[in-house]
Structure 1
Amino acid sequence: MTALEDELGELLLLDEDQLYIALARSDPANADVMFSPVEARETGRRTFDRLEEPLRHRICDEWNYCAKKKSSNFGDTLTLTAAVADVIVTVLGGIPAGTVATLLVKKGLSKLCRCRADDHD
């Protein structure tokens, strides 16, 4: 396994609240901020909410996730998360792509992209 796969594997073990906390703490904009877990979670949620539309555009429109998921080899969550991290890195402005990609996959890319019901996740 590569270092990225190791990192993503660890991130995939976290729940959404833990990922929001990790997001807040890894955001360069918050480098000098000391958060309580509750503050970190809420800051991470706000950061994710702010990024959601540019991420939706990048993943759903430009990368065309709904079509890709039918034809690509994303048979496991780790492979899908790594692919998403590669796709979104330019949108994030220094925020670790692995953390955001993991959140996106856990929340559901089909939901994010509003894929049709006959598309499978």
Structure 2
Amino acid sequence: MYTKILRVTDISHVLFKTNPPITLINAKGMVPTTRWTDGQLVPYIYVTSPKDGYVDFDFVALPPRGHAERVETEITAHWEGVLPDWAQGIRIHASEGPVEYDLSSGGTIVDRDIKIAGGEIPWPLNMFA
């Protein structure tokens, strides 16, 4: 069962100037033992947009089965998709609390002519990161 990681240590993003614009979010964090796998950023689903303009994600991963060394270990996760128009930042939640990242504070902008067939890019975006 997926479990929130211990803490978020780094967040970055890449904005692909496609139509619609696609955002790749990269996150790093720490887990309490070795052998955690499959880090994922799981977006919250909103009925109405939040007043602060931040899109929330849970940073989760699969904890180890069986023996694991009790040493904090780094884990990564990525999410790619179209952020809502109201998005000003992202907030990634972990067990020790959330970390906020302002989308206007940096990031990489990729201004490429990427053709989208049928609304889907036929390769993973993280190959450009």
TM over 0.5: no
Q: TM-score range, shorter-chain basis?
A: under 0.3
1 or 2, which has the higher strand percentage?
2
Report the structure number with the largest CA radius of gyration. 2
More helix by share: 1
TM-score by length of 1: 0.26
Q: TM-score, normalised by structure 2?
A: 0.25
